[in-house]
Amino acid sequence: MTYILGIESSCDDTSAAVLADTTMLSNVTASQEVHRKYGGVVPELASRAHQQNIVPVIHEALQVAGIPKEELHAVAFTRGPGLLGSLLVGTSFAKAFALGLDLPLIEADHMKAHILAHFIQLPAENKKVPQFPFLCLTVSGGHTQIVLVRDYFEMEIVGQTIDDAAGETFDKAAKIMSLPYPGGPVIDKLAAAGDPDRFPFPHPQAKGFDYSFSGLKTSFLYFLRDSLKNNPHFIDENKEDLSASLQKTIISILMHKLTLAAEHYGINQIAVAGGVSANTGLRRAMQQAQADKGWETFIPPFSFTTDNAAMIAVSGYFKYLQKDFTTHSAAPYTRGGIG
Ligand code: KG4
Ligand code: ZN
């Protein structure tokens, strides 16, 4: 049995997890409430909160797992992409921890890790995992990608957003409606009580398997501005229908390109990952596609949709098997990642 400690600190969640091979023994996350009142993540505050959270989070992860730190085989950490100040906290801690215990250090790519979260097993679980090659729609606050996954580490982005990410579109639309941050879960909840066909919004075009969302955001903004001229209470009176219509449009844009990619590559193993994969409508659309298109779909449990360290630890496990270790000079990277 190989015990890996995973550390994730790329954005605003401080997380630590312990895995025994691919089985999750613990996954502890401290979320940062401090950003809520600013309507978005404030990098400097995130970095400071990580510094406060990291020791107790790691302590708890080891305690819940029941694994003394001396029994660990390696430490895996998120090297990037993410916010520099946030990444520095996890990276520095991982290095110091590994040095102190004479453990190998393993770097993980945050976006690849979101995909590899599909390989995490819960204790006493024998969940079916995607077969290679598979396609993964990776949708978060900062990314929207269709990734061709050939192997645990051989991944190719075959389509991606040329402007805003899907999560960012949810968040910006919520901000326009004066809803709290992060807007994705709020819109999801409101959409459940709304009519998705009430307001038709455009599907911005992008070539190949790429996405574009900025035109949708702009037309949503202009539509609300015009409607508010006639009725100052328009948003309040229609927020459920607005949310449902916007959500339906985003999902339809996501699923359209994913379907084209699946047909092009002749792949029927289709996964979804990242924060937006928590969206009820997107999860339903994936299940529907399984029935309609003959796909075998993989939808992560809610706890693995948003940022977590279990996905970093499982990435670390696969690298550990290959003895793919990192030197202590590895500096965080803020952009890029897969490919
Ligand atoms: O992967 P993630 O936790 O962090 C990043 O790496 O970006 O994704 C966060 C994004 C936010 O934009 C948030 O609004 C969105 O995921 N999100 C959702 C839902 N839950 C989180 N979007 C739509 N519906 C949801 N239920
Ligand atoms: Zn993420």
> The tokens 């505050």 sit on which residue?
45
Rounded-to-integer distance, Cα 327 and Cα 214, Å: 40
Name the closest ligand to CA 174. Answer: 1
CA 182–ligand 1 middle distance (angstroms): 7
How many other CB atoms sit within 10 Å of the CB of residue 259? 16
170 Cβ inside 6 Å of ligand 1: yes
Q: Which ligand is nearest to the CA of 284?
A: 1
How does pLDDT run across 222-268, given as a tens digit for each residue? 999 999 999 999 999 999 999 999 999 999 999 999 999 999 999 99
Distance CA 272, CA 274 (A): 7
Going from the C-alpha of 173 to that of each of 188, 242, 248, the distances in angstroms are: 12, 10, 13
Q: How far is the CA of 307 from the centre of ligand 2 (A)?
A: 5
Centroid of ligand 1 to alpha carbon of 279 (angstroms):
8
The DSSP string of 196-264 is TTSS-------STT-B--HHHHHHHHHHHHHHHHH-TTHHHHHHHHHHHHHHHHHHHHHHHHHHHHHHH
pLDDT at 339 > cutoff 80: no
pLDDT in tens, 144-173: 999 999 999 999 999 999 999 999 999 999
The answer to whether the CB of 138 is under 6 A from ligand 1 is no
Determine whether domain 3-126+304-321 maps to CATH 3.30.420.40. yes
Nearest CA to ligand 1 atom 23: 184
Determine the residue of 140, 179, 272 to mutate for testing ligand 1's pocket, defined as the one with the most ligand atoms within 8 A of the Cβ atom: 140
Global pTM value: 0.95
254 lines ligand 1 (CB under 6 A): no
- Measure 117 CA to ligand 2 centroid, in angstroms: 11
**What are the DSSP E strand ranges found in 57-199?**
74-80, 105-109, 134-139, 144-149, 155-160
Per-domain boundaries in the chain:
3-126+304-321, 134-302
Q: CB atoms < 10 A from the CB of 323, how many?
A: 9
Nearest one of 13, 61, 19 to 33, comparing CA atoms: 13
Q: What does the pLDDT look like over 295-316, one tens digit per residue?
A: 999 999 999 998 999 999 999 9
Distance 139 CA to ligand 2 centre (A): 8
Task: Determine the atom of ligand 1 nearest the C-alpha atom of 10.
Answer: 6
CA of 307 to the centre of ligand 1 (A): 9
Residue-level pLDDT at 38: 81
Rounded distance from Cα 67 to ligand 1 centre (Å)? 31
Asked if 3 and 71 count as a contact pair (C-beta separation under 8 A), the reply is yes
More confident residue, 31 or 199: 199
Cα separation values, 82 from 9, 10, 111, Å: 8, 5, 10
At a CB cut-off of 8 Å and minimum separation 6, what does 98 contact?
Answer: 74, 75, 104, 105, 328
**Counting every residue, how long is the chain?**
339
User: Which secondary structure element, helix H or strand E, spans residue 188, and what is its range?
Assistant: helix 183-191
CATH class as words, domain 134-302? alpha beta
| pLDDT tops 70 at residue 103 | yes
Share of the chain above pLDDT 70, in %: 100
Reported as half-sphere exposure (CB side, CA atoms, 13 A), residue 19 has a value of 27
Q: What is the pLDDT of residue 337?
A: 73
Residue whose CA lies nearest to ligand 1 atom number 22: 184
Average of per-residue pLDDT values in the chain: 96
Asked, as a colleague might, if the bond just before 133 is cis with ω within 30 of 0, I would say yes
Q: Quick check: do 3-126+304-321 and 134-302 share a fold?
A: yes
Question: In the predicted model, what is the mean pLDDT of residues 265-286?
Answer: 97
CB of 275 closer than 6 A to ligand 1?
A: yes
Ligand 1 pocket test target in 175, 276, 338 with most atoms within 8 Å of CB:
276
